Chains A and B, each alone.
Chain A
């Protein structure tokens, strides 16, 4: 019996020892692709994300209920070049719950035009109107980006204080960086317009995604019982389950909550993407770097 376990362990050891440097590259390549995509996106749009009207300035009008608004669409398109429309559907029943009109236009003129096409007044009973001035929008956006940077620096400090060694700390920080970059590229690819809450979700991702990296690094370099591969494997077993349960909490939040507020869905979409990316970043790249580091420092 013990021989079987020994052999199994041996097999696992050989397998990971053989491929870890290769495995490490997979997420790194993904990060590079994402960075190139974001860079290309920047050169096209002069920004690293699509901002919604709360961050770029403009008006969003949400009409309650699921009527047919095609005449409204065609009517408004003639006057507003940058206008776009969205339907909010109930994921369970498929019913359309609301219709969203977004434009950089000022709220009064857009509201008046919507009212004249629909033939009735917009009140707080039948609609929501959100307006953000352009200066405030970009001001908020800059501040949130600044907050993202500050939060990343603070997180890095915490990691350095915890481990007090350069390479393992950098590995954790790199994983956190990748956890932001990959979802960001996907969000851009999907053409999703980020709200303030969406950017806040990226901040949260910084804190949310590093716990598996902390687990891995602690088990690999702070604890000394058993073989290194075994410790990494044990950390993997715990960590992957952690990520799965975290996904169990955030994925239903994305699928079940329907209708407004959009901000809510966006937070959970970004957290889900980040957690998904984190599986690769932690268990391929970070584990690889830790393995390499331990080997060169004779930690077994």
Chain B
């Protein structure tokens, strides 16, 4: 008999422990994050959003994503501290010494230029809000009269990303989406303020030109570049070597020109002399432009002078603090260059199917209201339960379970980096509604009919709950695909919260109830 009681207590602990563990995990996911490199919300300092490449501070090792704690012994707790510091610097002094203390160590360097570091405050939680709440722009793009394969769509996406980089736009996500009928789209989302030229930016593929001196050798849209080899034996990193202060890696890949542009290339190069500094190369470089912005300059090997060749090898090198960084850098540069060259060869026009620019102002109001809403909903439901059952313990158990369900759902959303838009939040609230329903079924089933064992009664409650679970999942499932997944968030959070309910909080609630009724 004694043994039986201990066993019972063990079981009771087990289900409630699962709930507690999940709550703790959710807390970590929302406020701290699991990745060892991620920033905890409790960390003090300012977050580096970007550092200009090849600036002094970049070469000293400062990178985006680091947290600045101190600069020249001044504590950085908020963005204001940083901007105050920047404005306090005396620009008359020619060279300034900077000592930056970050979460990844200290950096000391001298520079006569102003810092290229841009910072933001550390986000309070890991939760991300969707476009409709945080403001920003969204565009859904499709080529006119062409169905793209997945690979072609990925090309379009990398080309577009490159063009957004040219314009210096940050916080842009570009991805492919599919709808119920299997159509492919490109979805562009830009957080924060939106550029006025957005429409022309997304609707065009960009103007691509390769020039030697002032003469255009090849340009986009006409198919001057027939092929760009992107993988395989001839394309890739050739080798790396250590140099002073770091390492350098070299990459190469071949491209194929059309006969016509090869001839043009030969005509132009035949008139060129040799480079005065390096006689291996010609005196002019091949300059690549996207939308009239210089993207890259390539030396032209002297062997190519005046030769009509359709096969050209593009070579380049990138430096880094160590071999790994140099390798990654070279790889990224190679990809970028390939993308730039491919830009000239996408044979279709684009159409804007949807373009939304959302002001962040109303979204802010909404987020504020959500907290009020949560408090009101909890209070009203607690009151209703108290009136019906007249037991504080049961009421608190229900409210606690409701809270746990919403909290764990948010935890999962933070973990998978899901953007919570308004429909997704609606899904969480609706999920809480079904959660309470299920708990009422458990309570009513457990207080009823003393002839049958409590275990049997709870089993019956779970039959209804499992049925209700499957009907909700069945109902929400099609939304994952319908309308290019624009309402995925709604379906996901609803399914997540009922899933959390049935697997974690409901069993724990049944145990708590059993404990209360003993």
B366 touching A241 by the CB < 8 A rule? no
Assess whether A218 is in contact with B464, with CB atoms less than 8 Å apart: yes
Q: State in angstroms the CA–CA spacing of A146 and B180 once bound together.
A: 9
* CB pair A124 B193 closer than 8 Å: yes
- B86-94, B157-165, B473-481: which lies at the interface: B473-481
Find chain A residues with CB under 8 A from B388 CB: 241
A268: B residues at CB distance < 8 A: 426, 429
Chain A hits for B180, CB < 8 A: 143, 146-147
Closest chain A residue to B448, Cβ basis: A234
Which of the candidate stretches B118-126, B278-286, B369-377 sits at the interface with the other chain?
B369-377
Chain A residues near B373 (CB, 8 Å)?
252-253, 256-257
A interface, by DSSP: helix, strand, loop or mixed? helix
CB <8 Å contact, B471 and A147:
no
Which of A151, A201, A260 meets B478, CB within 8 Å? A151
Which one of B366, B381, B460 lies within 8 Å of A264 (CB-CB)?
B366
Q: Is the CB of B436 within 8 A of A215?
A: no
Q: CB-defined interface of A249-274 with B at 8 Å, one 1/0 digit per residue?
A: 11011001111110110011001000
Chain B residues within an 8 Å CB radius of A197: 422-423, 426, 487, 490
Bound-state Cα–Cα, A28 to B223, Å: 66
Given the known inter-chain contacts A211-B468, A226-B449, please indicate yes or no for A128 contacting B359, CB distance below 8 A.
yes
Cβ–Cβ contact A253 & B463, under 8 A: no
Contacts of B433 in A (CB 8 A): 208, 245-246, 249-250, 271
Please, what's the 1-or-0 string for A203-218, where 1 marks a CB less than 8 Å from any CB in chain B? Answer: 1101110110011001
Bound complex: CA of A268 vs CA of B369, how far in Å? Answer: 15
Which residue of chain B has the shortest Cβ distance to A211 in the bound complex?
A: B468
Contact between chains at B430 and A204 (CB < 8 Å) = yes
Q: Kindly identify which residue among B354, B448, B472 contacts A133, using a CB–CB cutoff of 8 Å.
A: B354
Return chain A residues, CB-CB under 8 Å to B366. Answer: 257, 259-261, 264
- In the docked arrangement, what's the CA distance between A164 and B55, Å? 72
Give residues 356-396 of B contacting A (CB, 8 Å). 356-363, 365-366, 369-370, 372-373, 376-377, 380-381, 384-385, 388
Q: Distance in Å from the Cβ of B13 to the closest Cβ of chain A?
A: 29
In the docked arrangement, what's the CA distance between A150 and B427, Å?
Answer: 19
Q: Is B135 an interface residue (CB 8 A)?
A: yes
Q: Bound state CA distance, A263 and B381, in angstroms?
A: 24
Cβ B468 vs Cβ A214 within 8 A: yes
B376, A196: Cβ atoms closer than 8 Å:
no
Report which of B132, B353, B369 forms a contact with A263, defined as CB distance below 8 A: B132
Question: Nearest Cβ distance between residue A159 and chain B, in whole angstroms?
Answer: 7
Give min CB distance, B181 to chain A, whole Å.
7
Q: Indicate if the CB atoms of A225 and B451 lie closer than 8 Å.
A: yes
Chain A residues closer than 8 Å to B365, beta-carbon distance: 97, 258-260
State in angstroms the CA–CA spacing of A127 and B135 once bound together.
Answer: 10
Asked whether any CB of chain B lies closer than 8 Å to the CB of A296, the reply is no
Known: A237-B444, A253-B426. A196 touches B377 (CB 8 A): no
Determine whether the beta carbon of A248 is less than 8 Å from that of B471: no
- Measured CB to CB, the closest approach of chain B to A10, in angstroms, equals 20
Q: How far is the CA of A190 from the CA of B384 in the complex (A)?
A: 30
The docked-state distance in angstroms from the alpha carbon of A225 to that of B423 is: 43
Do residues A207 and B472 form an inter-chain contact, with CB atoms below 8 A? yes
Q: Which of B351, B361, B385, B464 contacts A214 (CB 8 A)?
A: B464
Closest A residue to B451 using CB positions:
A225
Residues of B within 8 A of A146 (CB): 180, 478, 482
Chain A residues near B477: list those with CB within 8 A: 150-151, 154
B478:A203 contact, CB within 8 angstroms: yes
> Which chain A residues lie closer than 8 Å to B476 at the CB level?
151, 203-204, 207
Q: Are A124 and B194 in contact (CB under 8 A)?
A: yes
Q: Which residue in chain B gives the minimum CB-CB distance to A88?
A: B362
User: How far apart are the CA atoms of A283 and B381 in the complex, in Å?
Assistant: 22
Residues of B181-211 at the interface with A, using a CB-CB cut-off of 8 Å, are: 181, 183, 193-194, 196, 199
| Number of residues on chain A facing chain B (CB within 8 A) | 77
Residue of A nearest to B362 (CB): A260
Give the residue of A133, A214, A238, A260 whose beta carbon is less than 8 angstroms from that of B467.
Answer: A214
Docked Cα-Cα span, A154 to B476, in Å, equals 10
Identify the stretch in A43-51, A134-142, A284-292 within 8 Å (CB) of chain B at 4 or more residues: A134-142
Indicate if B483 sits at the interface (CB-CB under 8 A). yes
| Complex Cα–Cα for A93 and B140 (A) | 37
Assess the A258–B369 pair: CB atoms within 8 A: yes
**Interface membership of B225, Cβ < 8 A:** no
Interface residue from B179, B438, B473 paired with A139 (Cβ < 8 Å): B179
- In the complex, what distance in Å separates the CA atom of A123 from the CA atom of B438? 47
Tell me the bound Cα distance from A222 to B463 in angstroms: 10
Task: Determine whether the beta carbon of A211 is less than 8 Å from that of B434.
Answer: yes
Q: Is the CB of A130 within 8 A of B179?
A: no
A249 touches B381 (CB 8 A): yes
* Residue A300 interfacial (CB < 8 Å): no
A84 at interface, CB cutoff 8 A: no
Cβ distance B450 to chain A, nearest Cβ, rounded Å: 10
CB distance from A21 to the nearest CB of B (A): 26
Q: Does B85 contact A (CB under 8 A)?
A: no
Query: Closest residue of chain B to A203, judged by CB?
Result: B475
Which chain A residues lie closer than 8 Å to B354 at the CB level? Answer: 130-133, 136
- Shortest A82–chain B CB gap in Å is 19
Known A-B contacts A129-B356, A261-B366, A267-B426; A249 and B436 likewise in contact (beta carbons under 8 Å): yes
Whether A136 contacts B353 by the Cβ 8 Å rule is: yes
Could you tell me which A residues sit within 8 Å of B by CB distance? 62, 64, 97-98, 107-108, 123-133, 135-136, 139-140, 143-144, 146-148, 150-152, 154-155, 157-159, 162, 196-197, 200-201, 203-204, 206-208, 210-211, 214-215, 218, 222-223, 225-226, 234, 237-238, 241-242, 244-246, 248-250, 252-253, 256-261, 263-264, 267-268, 271
13 more contacts with CB within 8 A, not counting A152-B475, A200-B491, are: A64-B361, A97-B362, A124-B193, A125-B193, A128-B359, A155-B471, A200-B423, A214-B468, A225-B452, A242-B437, A253-B426, A260-B422, A264-B366
Q: List 28 A-B contacts (CB under 8 A).
A: A62-B362, A108-B199, A130-B358, A132-B353, A144-B482, A148-B478, A151-B475, A154-B478, A155-B471, A155-B474, A159-B467, A162-B467, A204-B430, A204-B472, A210-B471, A215-B441, A222-B460, A242-B436, A244-B384, A245-B433, A248-B381, A249-B429, A249-B432, A252-B376, A253-B373, A253-B429, A260-B362, A261-B366
Task: Give 8 closest A-B pairs by Cβ, nearest first.
Answer: A207-B475, A154-B474, A207-B472, A147-B478, A147-B482, A211-B468, A249-B433, A136-B353
